[in-house]
Homo-oligomer: A and B are copies of this chain.
């Protein structure tokens, strides 16, 4: 089968990267700088760039919203328990898509159609045809309404999780997509202090 333009571009970019891979093939598995970052999947975010990470430095966990989901916590626990990280960063961002819908909206949209919906500035309009599914009503989509409060909430969830040792500090930040700047959320970082729970 023919490869799509996107697949061809990704493969070409990869060939170029591999051609100048240098000594990176010798990097060990555990993160050299002993920390992990939990952040959003948003396309505008490049955590390696915004936090200054080279290959081999740190674990990066990403999902919709950078939320402290059970799966993110599974990853963080593996990160410290087996691979020796000692600090966790939770980094959400401004203008996050997770503030533009909620469980009700998403469940309704998916029930009508699985295809992509369009936001017309006021709300979501489902332009897709074809089958929908009510499975979307059973999912917690982990949306939020206040970006700074969501950081505090996620730092607290990690801090208070029974599998996260009290010795690991958890820091909370909000990344500004307009400026590229990380802003610490003091309430989050205070809540995530080692030994604070």
CB-CB < 8 A to A109: which residues of B? Answer: 81-82
As a 0/1 sequence over residues 47 to 89 of chain A, the CB contacts with chain B under 8 angstroms (1 = contact) are: 0111111011111111110000111101101111111100101
Known contacts A14-B51, A31-B43; is-contact A61 B62 (Cβ 8 Å):
yes
Q: How far is A100 from B82 in the complex, measured between Cα atoms in Å?
A: 10
CB-CB < 8 A to A59: which residues of B? Answer: 41-43
User: What is the oligomeric copy number?
Assistant: 2
Known contacts A24-B180, A64-B74, A74-B139; is-contact A87 B49 (Cβ 8 Å):
no
Contact A44 B64 (CB under 8 A): no
Judge whether A25 is part of the interface by a CB distance below 8 angstroms. Answer: yes
Known contacts A55-B46, A64-B74, A71-B70; is-contact A180 B117 (Cβ 8 Å):
no
Q: Which of B25, B114, B177 contacts A180 (CB 8 A)?
A: B25
Contact B115 A165 (CB under 8 A): yes
Judge whether A162 is part of the interface by a CB distance below 8 angstroms. Answer: yes
Q: Which of B45, B77, B100, B116 contacts A84 (CB 8 A)?
A: B116
15 pairs of residues in contact across A and B, judged by CB atoms under 8 Å: A9-B52, A10-B52, A17-B180, A18-B180, A24-B44, A30-B43, A41-B59, A46-B55, A78-B97, A78-B141, A81-B114, A82-B101, A82-B109, A114-B164, A135-B163
